[in-house]
């Protein structure tokens, strides 16, 4: 298996910038300018790109060099600093020609841009202002003290990049200018103005100034010669992350954000069209060169993106954060906190710029790989933060692919739910009335994995012989992503004619704690659902696709028998006391008959009778199991010597009949052979089926256990704790939604699916059906050998990709069925 972004290349050349982090970069085809942080950060280093040698240092700033930018013709270099000033340098003589400061204390000057057409410079400041300076009006400013910066800067003002502001003598023959109050837009943002960008907007005359800040929004400003900047538009990029860097390419605005996302706006519609999960930490720099966009991050990685917003290449030679980027015709240049500047070849025609393997660009596999790496084990307090990270990752995936998404709080101390929605296209000429609403249910939490018992690391997606191994690959992260990417692709292809909503919980493996309350509190998001779709089970075998139409329910209980004594020695007290473990054995012996049926009174009274239609559904299953004995399955019926009729009965016992299971017995004390334990505990579950009622079965079970215990001559006491309850679910194989699913499966696999039931349980599905008054359809993707909940869990890559196409066909088929109904 190939992971996305696995195509890396090596650095062509490395420059060392003394002892400073490389905060800023700018380059012509012959010269590279770099600015640093700290004691040496007040110098701008000038490098010869022909020989990769240091040419000179530009001295003058008193603080870190936060931004470098060049005039269009490359003859002026603008530098902004933590000393609150901007300097303009002649790139031929390397002399400072302007020293510009504000009439106010601005703090750090994070960004500077220059408009050649307006002959005006714009700066973004720590005090949230945007300021500008028209060089047509440049006039000498006579300061009140020899050091303008020290007279204006308050030494208690915090600086974004901490480093000493050193005092230096002012240079001679430098034009010193002050930005007047009339050229200051106060409070331009509700946060530091981290980045500025000049560019064009389709169908709009003149240059537009773009600004990004700590509040996350991006603002667009109209510019006119000799006039203040005019607020025009605000692009909402979310309040959860600062906008740290901006880039324009082919009518799209790229916004690098805190946390690792790149948000992309279409400047014709001003809509947020993508939120790429680009990096694992803050995106600190963006550069456009030719048809490619490059991003750099605090995670130490530089990435190259194509026109489809897909990553082509990765560079990761830096040992710390990548703080800055620039480019020439031949080189991408990155600067890092490791004090290094690295050169990467981006010459036209470089074969490394193209993907070497189509699988490397499979975004779904890349997302699955990242998601699997997060051990989202529910019910384990130590993994709570990983679960939350997994939920946020899923939210980001949904947003990146064009869905609305947010987190829904779960129960206190438990995991959140993830909500997302892909909306139906608005221009469907065949649409009459509202579009259908499809609610996709799933879970992102997983069962714990013992790494010692796995052939591969359980939380690292591993590809081998056509299978993807990893905890959650089949249950349930893989199928969830298949559904998400199916809806996203239909939306991108303008073929999504239904609303597809996602309800993904994080406590399914832990009894869905808090799920029902969370849904009730947000019921307005789900109450118009027409059908509920899930993919949380497996085929019966390996080769024939299946469609699941029923699940048993479950009641989990714990029986505890306690003595008033402490743990005792059998050689001292044996025969003189009532022993809890002996009492437990007697109670458990009265729960199950010799024929494996439950002894609970009334347990079988309300089972729905077998219809001829359902009985017929078992026939092709039995035929397949006898005619294809080589297929790997949970159990091999031929090995047991059963007949076809006996096999059908076994399947019914497993799927449509209730059962009672004793899972384990535990005792107190050191558990050696001489101790009489003071308490004994047993785990007992009951699987229930239509039309058994959970409340009735629970009541009968408790009464039966207490009656049995009451007949014992014992001094001990018993406790009955009902831990988890999940209702059964049974779908209608004849309704339109099952027919659409059947058709979609047959279209993909070239054969009709087997209609099967499952002996396991999904706590939420029956409750959602009742609450939303919507039918549920269950489309399994995995095979019987997927090892869900076991060691070496896996899913076949073919099944994952085909599963995505099945979901696409199913969603497309719903509109056809709706039209036929109307």
- For residues 688 and 812, membership in a common domain is answered with no
The answer to the question of residue 153 being in a domain is no
Nearest to 583, CA basis, from 647, 667, 658: 667
Q: At what angle do helices 797-821 and 477-492 cross, to 10 degrees?
A: 50
pLDDT tops 50 at residue 4: no
The H-assigned helical ranges of 591-711 are: 612-627, 644-655, 694-710
691 is written with which tokens? 């039309």
DSSP 61: -
pLDDT in the model for residue 357: 31
Q: Which of 218-222, 317-321, 696-700 shows the lowest per-residue confidence on average (mean pLDDT)? A: 317-321
Q: DSSP 3-state assignment of 60?
A: coil
Task: Using the 3D structure, point to which of 673, 691, 726 is the last residue of a domain.
Answer: 726
Q: Which of 89 and 638 is assigned the larger pLDDT? A: 89
Instruction: Give the other-Cβ count within 10 Å of 46's Cβ.
Output: 18
Q: Which burial class, exposed, middle or buried, applies to 430 when counting CB atoms under 10 A from its CB (0-12, 13-18, 19+)?
A: exposed
pLDDT in the model for residue 12: 66
| pLDDT bracket for residue 273 (50, 70, 90) | confident
| pLDDT bracket for residue 291 (50, 70, 90) | confident
How far, CA to CA in Å, does 782 sit from each of 366, 785, 793?
Answer: 19, 8, 11
Mean pLDDT of 631-641: 53
- For residues 439 and 557, membership in a common domain is answered with no
Q: Are 327 and 287 in contact (CB under 8 A)?
A: yes
Please tell me the pTM assigned to this model: 0.59
d(CA 449, CA 470): 10
% the chain with pLDDT above 90:
70
Q: At what angle do helices 363-372 and 384-400 cross, to 10 degrees?
A: 170
- For residues 401 and 432, membership in a common domain is answered with yes
Q: Which burial class, exposed, middle or buried, applies to 630 when counting CB atoms under 10 A from its CB (0-12, 13-18, 19+)?
A: exposed
| pLDDT bracket for residue 39 (50, 70, 90) | low
Mean pLDDT of 547-575: 93
- For residues 557 and 479, membership in a common domain is answered with no
pLDDT in the model for residue 770: 95
Beta bridge partners of 233: 220
466 is written with which tokens? 């056509």
Nearest to 483, CA basis, from 603, 368, 601: 368
The answer to the question of residue 672 being in a domain is yes
- For residues 596 and 700, membership in a common domain is answered with yes
- For residues 713 and 753, membership in a common domain is answered with no
- For residues 684 and 816, membership in a common domain is answered with no
Q: How many residues does the chain have?
A: 822
Name the pairing type of β-strands 404-408 and 417-422: antiparallel
pLDDT tops 80 at residue 217: yes
| pLDDT bracket for residue 42 (50, 70, 90) | confident
- Summarised one tens digit per residue, pLDDT across range 304-362 is 988 778 888 888 889 999 999 999 988 899 999 999 998 887 754 333 333 323 332 37
- Cis check for the bond before 476: say yes or no (omega within 30 of 0): yes
pLDDT tops 80 at residue 1: no
CATH code, domain with 576 = 3.30.70.360
Mean pLDDT of 702-713: 97
Q: Are 318 and 332 in contact (CB under 8 A)?
A: no
pLDDT in the model for residue 353: 31
The answer to the question of residue 651 being in a domain is no
- For residues 735 and 720, membership in a common domain is answered with no
pLDDT tops 70 at residue 37: yes
- The secondary structure of the chain in percent helix, strand, coil, rounded to multiples of 5, reads 25, 35, 45
The answer to the question of residue 35 being in a domain is no
pLDDT in the model for residue 511: 86
The answer to the question of residue 346 being in a domain is no
pLDDT in the model for residue 640: 63
The answer to the question of residue 663 being in a domain is yes
Task: Using alpha carbons only, give the angle 107, 112, 114 rounded to the nearest 5 degrees.
Answer: 145
Q: Which of 70 and 4 is assigned the larger pLDDT? A: 70
Q: Are 10 and 302 in contact (CB under 8 A)?
A: no
Q: Which of 428-432, 471-475, 611-615 shows the lowest per-residue confidence on average (mean pLDDT)? A: 428-432
| pLDDT bracket for residue 239 (50, 70, 90) | low
pLDDT in the model for residue 466: 74
- Summarised one tens digit per residue, pLDDT across range 100-149 is 999 889 999 999 999 999 999 999 999 999 999 999 876 655 443 333 33
- For residues 523 and 400, membership in a common domain is answered with yes
CATH code, domain with 478 = 3.40.630.10
pLDDT in the model for residue 154: 42
- Read off φ and ψ for residue 816, nearest 5 degrees: -60, -45
- Summarised one tens digit per residue, pLDDT across range 396-409 is 999 999 999 999 99
pLDDT tops 80 at residue 151: no
Q: Which residues contact 575 (CB under 8 A, 6 or more apart)?
A: none
Task: Using the 3D structure, point to which of 726, 741, 764 is the last residue of a domain.
Answer: 726
pLDDT tops 50 at residue 166: no
- For residues 802 and 702, membership in a common domain is answered with no
pLDDT in the model for residue 359: 34
Concatenating the DSSP letter of every residue in 432-455 gives: -SSPPEEEEEEE--B----GGG-S
pLDDT in the model for residue 150: 35
Q: Which of 157-166, 169-178, 493-502, 620-629 shows the lowest per-residue confidence on average (mean pLDDT)? A: 157-166
The structural domain count of the chain equals 2
- For residues 773 and 664, membership in a common domain is answered with no
- For residues 383 and 528, membership in a common domain is answered with yes
Task: Using the 3D structure, point to which of 694, 726, 758 is the last residue of a domain.
Answer: 726
Mean pLDDT of 557-571: 93
The H-assigned helical ranges of 102-239 are: 148-152
| pLDDT bracket for residue 158 (50, 70, 90) | very low
Name the pairing type of β-strands 44-48 and 31-36: antiparallel
How far, CA to CA in Å, does 580 sit from each of 569, 586, 680, 714?
Answer: 14, 10, 6, 9
Q: Which residues contact 790 (CB under 8 A, 6 or more apart)?
A: none
The answer to the question of residue 109 being in a domain is no
49 is written with which tokens? 């790109």
d(CA 633, CA 227): 77
Domain carrying residue 577: 553-610+656-726
The answer to the question of residue 304 being in a domain is no
């Amino acid at each position: 298996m190939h992971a996305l972004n696995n195509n890396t290349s090596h650095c062509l050349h490395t420059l060392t910038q003394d002892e400073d982090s490389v905060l800023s970069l700018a380059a012509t085809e012959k010269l590279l300018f770099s600015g640093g942080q700290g004691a040496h950060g007040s110098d701008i280093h000038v490098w010869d790109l022909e020989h990769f040698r240091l040419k000179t240092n530009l001295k003058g700033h008193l603080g870190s060099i936060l931004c470098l930018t060049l005039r269009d013709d490359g003859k002026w270099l603008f530098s902004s600093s933590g000393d609150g000033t901007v300097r303009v340098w002649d790139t031929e003589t390397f002399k400072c020609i302007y020293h510009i400061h504000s009439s106010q204390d601005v703090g750090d000057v994070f960004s500077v841009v220059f408009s050649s057409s307006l002959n005006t410079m714009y700066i973004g400041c720590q005090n949230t202002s945007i300021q500008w300076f028209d060089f047509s009006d440049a006039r000498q400013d006579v300061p009140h003290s020899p050091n303008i910066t020290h007279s204006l800067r308050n030494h208690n003002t915090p600086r974004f990049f901490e480093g000493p502001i050193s005092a230096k003598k002012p240079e001679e023959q430098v034009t010193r200018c002050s930005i007047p109050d009339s050229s200051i837009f106060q409070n331009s943002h509700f946060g530091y103005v981290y980045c500025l960008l000049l560019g064009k907007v389709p169908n709009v005359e003149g240059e537009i100034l773009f600004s990004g800040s700590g509040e996350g929004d991006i603002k667009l400003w109209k510019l006119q010669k000799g006039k203040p900047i005019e607020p025009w538009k605000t692009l909402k990029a979310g309040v959860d992350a600062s906008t740290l860097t901006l880039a324009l390419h082919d009518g799209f605005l790229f916004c690098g954000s805190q946390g690792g996302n790149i948000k992309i706006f279409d400047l014709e519609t001003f809509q947020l069209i993508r939120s790429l999960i680009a990096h694992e930490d803050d995106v600190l720099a963006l550069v456009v060169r030719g048809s490619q966009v490059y991003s750099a991050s605090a995670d130490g990685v530089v990435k190259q993106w194509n026109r489809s917003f897909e990553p082509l290449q990765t560079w990761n030679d830096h040992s710390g954060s990548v703080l800055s980027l620039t480019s020439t015709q031949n080189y991408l240049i990155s600067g890092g906190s490791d004090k290094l500047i690295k050169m990467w070849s981006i010459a036209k025609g470089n074969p490394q710029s193209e993907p070497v393997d189509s699988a490397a660009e499979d975004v779904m596999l890349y997302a699955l790989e990242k998601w699997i790496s997060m051990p989202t084990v529910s019910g384990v307090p130590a993994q709570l933060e990983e679960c939350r990270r997994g939920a946020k990752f899923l939210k980001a995936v949904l947003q990146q692919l064009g869905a609305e998404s947010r987190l829904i709080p779960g129960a206190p101390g438990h995991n959140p739910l993830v909500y997302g929605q892909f909306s139906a296209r608005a221009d469907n000429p065949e649409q009459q009335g509202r579009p259908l609403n499809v609610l996709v249910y799933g879970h992102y939490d997983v069962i714990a994995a013992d790494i010692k018992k796995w052939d591969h690391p359980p939380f690292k997606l591993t590809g081998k012989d056509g299978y993807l191994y990893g905890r959650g690959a089949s249950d349930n992260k893989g199928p969830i992503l298949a559904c998400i990417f199916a809806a996203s692709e239909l939306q991108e292809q303008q073929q999504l004619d239904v609303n597809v909503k996602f309800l993904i919980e994080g406590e399914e493996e832990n009894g869905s704690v808090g799920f029902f309350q969370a849904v009730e509190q947000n019921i307005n998001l789900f109450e118009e659902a027409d059908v509920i779709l899930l993919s949380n089970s497996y085929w019966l075998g390996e080769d024939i696709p299946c469609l699941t139409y029923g699940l048993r329910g479950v009641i989990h209980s714990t029986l505890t028998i306690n003595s008033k004594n402490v743990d005792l020695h059998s050689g001292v007290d044996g025969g003189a006391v009532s022993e809890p473990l002996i009492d437990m054995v007697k109670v458990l012996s009265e729960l199950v008959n010799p024929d494996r049926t439950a002894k609970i009174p009334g347990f079988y009274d309300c089972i729905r009778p077998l219809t001829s239609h359902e009985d017929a559904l078992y026939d092709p299953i039995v035929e397949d199991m006898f005619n294809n004995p080589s297929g790997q399955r949970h159990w091999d019926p031929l090995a047991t010597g059963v007949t076809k009729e006996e096999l059908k009965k076994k399947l019914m016992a497993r799927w449509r009949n209730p059962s009672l299971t004793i899972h384990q017995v535990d005792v107190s004390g050191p558990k050696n052979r001489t101790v009489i334990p003071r308490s004994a505990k047993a785990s007992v579950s009951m699987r229930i089926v239509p039309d058994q009622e959970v409340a009735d079965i629970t009541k009968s079970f408790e009464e039966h256990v207490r009656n049995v215990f009451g007949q014992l001559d014992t001094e001990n006491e018993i406790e009955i704790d009902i831990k988890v309850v999940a209702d059964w679910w049974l779908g209608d194989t004849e309704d339109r939604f099952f027919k659409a699913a059947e058709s979609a499966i047959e279209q993909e696999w070239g054969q009709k699916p087997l209609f099967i039931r499952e002996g396991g349980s999904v706590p939420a599905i029956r409750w959602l059906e009742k609450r939303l008054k919507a039918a549920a359809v269950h489309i399994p993707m995995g095979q019987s050998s997927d090892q869900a909940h076991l060691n070496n869990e896996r899913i076949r890559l073919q099944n994952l990709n085909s599963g995505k196409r099945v979901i696409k066909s199913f969603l497309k088929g719903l509109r056809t069925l709706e039209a036929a109904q109307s």
